[in-house]
Amino acid sequence: MRRTALLVAGVLLVAGCSSGQQAAQNRQGQSGFVSGNGNVSTFAVGDRKAAPELTGKTLDGKTWTLSEQTGKVVVLNVWGSWCPPCRKEAPELVAASKELGSGVQFIGLNTRDLDPAQAKKFVQEFDVPFPSIYDPNGKALLRFRGQISPKAIPTTLVIDKDGKVAGRVVGEVTKQTLLGMVKDAG
């Protein structure tokens, strides 16, 4: 009987503990978010689904609308300043956007940053040359339900010239992967 009581107490003690990293994440408001493993999915032309309409205010106060980008390949990257994998992939996205130039429209979708100053600081720190829609409550992100998990940050979509999703990376994306996906979407 005593052994059973000790076993139950031990299980309860272990269940009540969390790692320091998990506790820190919870304090920063990122509880429930997962970082993907960089899994790449590409879709054949006949299997592509239309991206939902996306309109929002960018961090610099301008309105950006996905449907106005018809005829261009669009790279949509969902990120947060609080997200370590987002910080790691930022230089890759910047390099890809510079190499691809004006023929491809890059747009960020900043999510869950409750203070726009944090998002702006991230953009400045990494010298991000493309706009980002500010989406602190995740409403814009939820429009992509079924194509992007609202908990998988970062995620990158490549949208073809017809407004259909040609590819997705759940987790960090590299420049080389992105260049290949854009070429395939073109």
Please name each of the domains of the chain with its CATH number: 1-30 (no CATH), 32-185 (3.40.30.10)
User: Average of pLDDT values for 67-94?
Assistant: 97
Please count the helices (runs of H) and the strands (runs of E) in the chain. 6, 8
Query: CA distances (Å), 173 to each of 38, 121, 136, in order?
Result: 6, 21, 22
Q: Which amino acid is at 51?
A: A
- Over 70: is that where the pLDDT of 14 sits? no
Nearest to 50 by CA among 30, 36, 70: 70
Nearest to 104 by CA among 44, 183, 31: 183
Distance from C-alpha of 125 to C-alpha of 178, rounded to nearest angstrom = 22
Task: State pLDDT tens for residues 111-138.
Answer: 999 999 999 999 999 999 999 999 999 9
Distance from C-alpha of 70 to C-alpha of 172, rounded to nearest angstrom = 26
Rg (CA), the chain: 19
- Over 70: is that where the pLDDT of 25 sits? no
Nearest to 74 by CA among 161, 176, 177: 161
The percent of residues in the chain predicted with pLDDT above 70, rounded, is 80
Query: CA distances (Å), 183 to each of 25, 73, 92, 128, in order?
Result: 37, 9, 16, 22
Q: What is the pTM of this model?
A: 0.81
- Residue 91 tokens read as 């230089």
pLDDT of residue 35: 55
Task: State pLDDT tens for residues 26-80.
Answer: 334 444 445 566 789 999 999 999 999 999 999 999 999 999 998 999 999 999 9
- Over 50: is that where the pLDDT of 102 sits? yes
- Over 80: is that where the pLDDT of 20 sits? no
pLDDT of residue 88: 97
